[in-house]
Amino acid sequence: MSRRSGILEFAVLGLLRESPMHGYELRKRLNTSLGVFRAFSYGTLYPCLKTLVANGWLIEESGNTAETAAPLAGRRAKIVYRLTAEGKEHFEQLLSQTGPDAYEDEHFAARFAFFGQTSRDVRMRVLEGRRSRLEERLEKMRASLARTRERLDDYTLELQRHGMESVEREVRWLNELIESERAGRDLRRSASGNSAQQDTTDGSTGGLPRSGDETRPDTPDDTAT
């Protein structure tokens, strides 16, 4: 399994733990609400869903339900994906992992999106691991810039400075999050009002970056094999 497919499976299981969804709604949430996946196709999503069904972590249900009736009005019944008990248990195991993969850029974003379902000690280990990884990256960037500064033109130099500033900003952000966790402050409560307001305006969640607005594509038949 590739790293990206593993991240995708994690995100799909996490979203379906919240509620059952059909393929279009899953793709929309992955592309916009989570802010994790930028360019995402049905050709990538449906093989992932089939794998999760084959593993017994999801089941397929045919027909409109109360949760999905509105988006499917006027269309024939679609397949709705629902998390099984085994799928929930598997997701909770993934959620508790704090190894090096959890600190990588895209995987960290996916993990952070589900921090509301994660225990505080796991959140702390992931946040501290991410900060350590970025501090190492920042040290290497500074060393590289010091070695090559005289050979770089102004634009390349400015690009490297911009990259360093981006990493420095994230380190400061992580420091704030870690301080909040250590102080026992629950971001889920403090951010609940803001999140509710954001959901009604732009569909974003939490403080994660999100991709730009997307126009609704032609929805493929969820019953297709």
Which token pair is 21? 């969804």
pLDDT for 214 equals: 40
Model pLDDT for residues 118-158, shown as the tens digit of each residue: 999 999 999 999 999 999 999 999 999 999 988 889 999 99
Domain boundaries, the chain: 3-95, 118-192
Give the C-alpha distances (Å, rounded to integers) separating 94 from 84, 117, 130, 133. 15, 12, 17, 20
Burial code (b: 16+ CB inside 10 Å, e: under 16) for 184-214 equals eeebeeeeeeebeebeeeeebbbeeebbeee
Question: Could you say which DSSP state residue 77 is in?
Answer: -
Which token pair is 218? 């032609």
Model pLDDT for residues 34-84, shown as the tens digit of each residue: 665 655 667 888 999 999 999 999 999 985 544 444 444 555 568 999 999
Dist. CA 20–CA 36, nearest whole Å: 20
Average of per-residue pLDDT across 200-222: 41
Which token pair is 205? 């969640």
Mean pLDDT (the chain, rounded):
79
pTM of the model: 0.71
Residue at token pair 């499917």: 72
Query: Right CATH number for 3-95 from 1.10.10.10, 3.30.500.10, 3.40.630.30, 2.120.10.70?
Result: 1.10.10.10
184 confidence band (pLDDT: 50, 70, 90) = confident
Q: H helices within the chain, ranges in order?
A: 3-18, 23-28, 42-54, 85-95, 105-113, 120-148, 154-182, 187-190, 192-201
